Every structure is written in structure tokens, then in C-alpha cells.
Amino acid sequence: MARQTAQQDEIQSLVESFASELTALVRRTTIEQLQQALGDFSGGSTPAAKRTVRVVRMGRSAKKGSGGKRTPEQVHAFGETLYAFIKKSPGQRGEQIAAALKTDVKTMRLPLLRLIADKKVKTKGQRRGMTYFAA
């Protein structure tokens, strides 16, 4: 019986060793593949590559409205603007409303869902063909 326990312990040890070596190999391979796909931007990279990364980062952070959540007041204020437009121009689709308000459909989604939940706005149709009417 003690011999079986010793054998089981040895087998368990070998399995754990194999699993840890396999995990290390997968990590190393993944890192190498990412470096090949993205290019190596470590200390040995070229000045042009560093400049490219800097421009991309500046472009992303400088983009208006990127990152960060809207406050509940901002969502409510846009909801009121949205409601006024739907009341003035009933029967328009989301893309048409977004174009008229110079925004995108994704920005309108939360305020519009809240207006529908508050039963201020009714809908007709499905998906992209859905039209909106003031209740």
C-alpha cells in the first residue's frame, strides 16, 4: 500500500512538471508570435517604429469623446435632445436621427433605451428598420 502511494506521488509530480513546462512553452510561443505580428517595439526598435507608436497613441488619446463614461446628467441631457427631435420628426430610423443630430447610433443607444423604458418613445418595426415615435 505504501508503494502505491509513492508511485501515485511520483506520477502526480511528473504530471505537474509536464504541465508547468507545457504552460511555459505555450507562453513563450505566444509572445514570439505576437512580437512577429506586431513587430518588436522594445529598446532595439528603429526610430521610425517608435515614432509610429507615438503617433498612434496621440491620435487615440486626442480623439474627442474617447474613453471615459458619460455622466448621468450628460445622458439625461442628450435624452431630452433626442426626445425633442423624435417629437418634432416622428417615424425616423436610428441612422437618420443620428445623422440629423450629428452623432452616431452607439451614442444614442442608452438615452433612447431609457426613453423607451420611461414610455416616452414608442417603436415600430425591428432592428435597423425600427422607427421611433413620441408616445
Claim to verify: residue 88 and residue 52 sit in the same structural domain = no
Domain that holds residue 42: 2-61
Confidence check: pLDDT of 133 > 60: yes
Gyration radius (Cα) of the chain, Å: 28
Instruction: Quote the CA–CA distance of 73 and 78 in Å, as a whole number.
Output: 9
Claim to verify: residue 45 and residue 22 sit in the same structural domain = yes
**Among residues 16, 31, 61, which one ends one of the domains?**
61
pLDDT in tens, 20-64: 888 988 989 888 888 888 875 555 555 554 545 444 444 444 445
Give the torsion through C-alpha atoms of 43, 48, 54, 58, to 10 deg.
-170
Confidence band, pLDDT 50/70/90 cuts, at residue 3: confident
